[in-house]
Amino acid sequence: MMDWTVAMDDMLTQRLCRCTACSHTATGWWGMWQEYGVIVAYILCERCHVTDRELRGVRTVMEQR
């Protein structure tokens, strides 16, 4: 079972304030991204939320990290 503690803490305490995909100021589209055994909270601005429903931008950023 995966440990979601850190990702949930980031999301619930609203530590993230910029869009994960484009770095613009985000307005609050939250989610959890999980792949390769890593779980990360992300936040998206309105534009990225509407245009990238498959989270390609989030995946690209996370793979670079």
Whole-number Cα distances in Å, 29 to 9, 20, 36, 37, 49: 16, 10, 23, 23, 7
* Structure-token pair, residue 40: 């990360």
The residues spanned by each domain of the chain are 5-64
Residue-wise pLDDT tens for the chain (65 aa)?
Answer: 467 677 667 666 666 778 888 888 866 788 887 877 777 778 888 888 889 888 888 888 877 77
Question: Residue 10's pLDDT is what?
Answer: 63
CA distance 22 to 17: 12
Strand extents, DSSP E, the chain: 29-35, 38-44
Amino acid identity at 5: T
What pTM value is reported for the model?
0.64
